[in-house]
Amino acid sequence: MFENLAEPPDPYILLLMGLGLLIALVAWLPLALRRLPLSLPIICIALGMGLGVIPGLQFDPSPLEHPEITERFAEFVVIIALMGAGLKIDRVLGLRSWRVTWRLIFLTLPLGIALIALLAGTWLALPWAMALLLGAVLAPTDPVLASDVQVGPPKTGEEDEVRFALTSEAGVNDGAAFPFVHLAIALAAASVKHEPWALEWLTYNVAWEIVVGILGGYLVGRLFGWITFHIPAESRLAKTGDGLIALSATFVSYGLTEVIHAYGFLSVFVTALAFRQSHRDHDFHTSMHDLIEQIERISMMVLLLFFGGALANGLLSPLVPTDIAAAVVILLVIRPISALVGMTGFKASWHERLTIAFFGIRGIGSFYYLAYGLNHIDDLQHAARLWAIVGLVVVLSIIMHGLSVTPIMRTLDRAQGRDPDADDAVPPPGFQGPGRDAR
């Protein structure tokens, strides 16, 4: 009987054990890191790199080898994060109340795309279509990894101007950047086929996909809000406390708008805002947000483990010195300058504006856009270098922003009259564990 002890373990059993350890880390690490200058993404990447160098394990999840899986997995994580971001925003949507968001979307985002594309097309000598793709990939703020600087859960009061700006920007700009990704795809196709592209891009990729994405997201959000809060009491979902309805709304919203060829990212965020608007003060929003946040953290951690494995197996090897310098310029020059230009005239302290400008976190949304773009462009000779550049920017962003987020946001809280060390203080977004109510 004891001879079975010498047999190698079943890979399925090892997978279950690893998944259990992963979930335990997702639940415990945010609380353990609450006052440390570290972030969960840093730990995830380090663990992935550790797995990638274990002899015989062959943990090499390269996005170049698995482009379709990379696109779909990143897509899933982003839409979950967009639902979570929309549900936790307390501020009612409006032209004046969201003016900082509109500045970051209509001024900062296109300026950032243009500057990165100009840098890539000149200094990095990339073809202009690929340069524009790189700009569209690296200009948006990531809704997943930016959770550390976002607003708190619904109705917690953790919504100062900085956190609101970064949350709403990350929610909107992932959809707003999509037309520029399609423009890069159109330019790449036109360079080969020499066919006209401008009219189709403006009418279809810009007008149709944006307008229908917003409208579809609003209708789905209102429908789910009515089903959840306003149908007869005996079957009202809000009475159950089952936050799974938010996951359902995410998939329905994204799937519906993608079926009619509109921007699903934009639709999901609008769905979350419309869902929240149906009954802004109901406690059920907290249940939905908590469930979405836990799914987001688990899926994010898995993806970053894969990213760490890819790093350990040479994802960054195509880099040349100019690529490294460009990555630093994108994070420390282009993002801050474009954000400060976008906020020119905006009434906020310099400390707040500099914090918003600095925390232009790049991450999983960039993975999705790059995978999507490369999967739709026939000329893939630059794919390895683009993945290396984007991978480096994401690594630098995770390290730089992850090490600085705790001291900077704690300083911001103190400057605004909040004590982050108070016994009743809400842990910063992104550091909250599932036992928030059991402090």
% of the chain with per-residue pLDDT over 70: 86
Structural domain contains residue 430: no
Structural domain contains residue 320: yes
Structural domain contains residue 422: no
Structural domain contains residue 7: no
0.95 cut: is pTM over it?
A: no
pLDDT per residue over 143-160, tens digit each? 887 777 888 788 776 778
- Reported confidence tier of residue 434, pLDDT bands at 50, 70, 90: very low
Domain region containing 249: 38-416
Count of Cβ atoms closer than 10 Å to residue 238 Cβ? 22
Say how far apart CA 305 and CA 57 lie, in whole Å.
Answer: 14
Structural domain contains residue 166: yes
With 70 as the cut, is the pLDDT of residue 429 above it? no
Say how far apart CA 171 and CA 37 lie, in whole Å.
Answer: 25
Mean pLDDT (whole number) for 261-289: 89
Short-list 133, 135, 162, CA closest to 150: 162
| Contact predicate 428/406, CB 8 Å | yes
DSSP codes, 22-36: HHHHHHHHHHHTTTS
Count of domains for the chain: 1
Say how far apart CA 396 and CA 116 lie, in whole Å.
Answer: 16
Structural domain contains residue 427: no
Structural domain contains residue 185: yes
With 60 as the cut, is the pLDDT of residue 235 above it? no
Instruction: Supply the CATH number for residue 306's domain.
Output: 1.20.1530.20
Structural domain contains residue 272: yes
